Amino acid sequence: MNAHTTLHGRHGSPAIEASGLVKRFKSGRAFVEVLKGVSFDARHGDLTMVMGPSGSGKSTLIAALSGLLKPEEGRVDALDVDDLWKLSSSRIDKFRLANCGFIFQGFNLFPSLTALQQVETVLKYQGLSKSQARKQATLSLEEVGLGHRLNQRPSALSGGEKQRVAIARALAKNPKILFADEPTSALDGENGQVVIRLLRRAATEHGAAVICVTHDPRLEAWADRVIHIEDGVIIDDQRRIPNPDAVLASH
């Protein structure tokens, strides 16, 4: 078993639990409440999909769950940490670095770095030696099918390949919690399917708690659980049987 197949917690055990999250933003002189008392949990081994229209609070929820944006009210318990928001900001940063992976719609790659370097950089931050980082980054890129693109920079990669680099970078550190914010929105059906299948595998094979927010209902097919959010309120939460072989038709 290499580092890539290490399981985190038992499948089905809780990875993150939030209760009563309230987030307000100032808008002119008034405050707009974007999360209106959201309670949420996600488990190891699950692909938990949070669906909602644009502006419903999905990105804000990810930010509040992952220690990026402090909510005005509510608490987040994550892995072995009780009340994440009670920690100092440097402890929160450390928690995130050690345990969380992120995938965004816009890929967020460094333009000047090769695929290999994008992944190596994160691993070196985590304290791996140069040679360990290179080895693990290569494995991780091979796992997403990019073993032949290691030395390409983002400008030479397609959108689908860029997102696979971002996924390799997120998975290389074997995160216990993986956050994906609209990971397929910038991709065509075929590349979107590659990406959602990789997220499915991160949950099934790595035991990560994968939390994927999207406004694309077609992604539901791969989910163990679908939560609907509208206007800062969770309106529905259902478990389902995922179909890892579902087909994502092109738009």
Binding map of ligand ADP across residues 16-55, x = CB under 6 A, - = no contact: ---------x--------x-----------------x-xx
Tell me how many residues contact ligand ADP (CB under 6 A): 10
**Shortest spacing between CB 181 and ligand ADP, in angstroms:** 7
Closest separation in Å from C-beta 154 to ligand ADP? 24
209, 43 contact by CB (below 8 A): yes
Interface pick for ligand ADP out of 43, 44, 58, 200 (rule CB under 6 A): 58
Q: Does 56 bind Mg ion (CB under 5 A)?
A: no
Max distance between CA atoms of the chain, in angstroms, equals 56
Q: How many residues does the chain have?
A: 251
Task: Note whether 59 binds Mg ion by CB under 5 A.
Answer: yes
- Which residue number, 106 or 244, has a Cβ lying nearer to Mg ion? 106
Name the residue nearer to ligand ADP (CB basis): 59 or 163: 59
Task: Name the residue nearer to ligand ADP (CB basis): 57 or 154.
Answer: 57
**Interface residue list for Mg ion (CB under 5 A):** 58-59
**Interface residue list for ligand ADP (CB under 6 A):** 25, 34, 52, 54-60
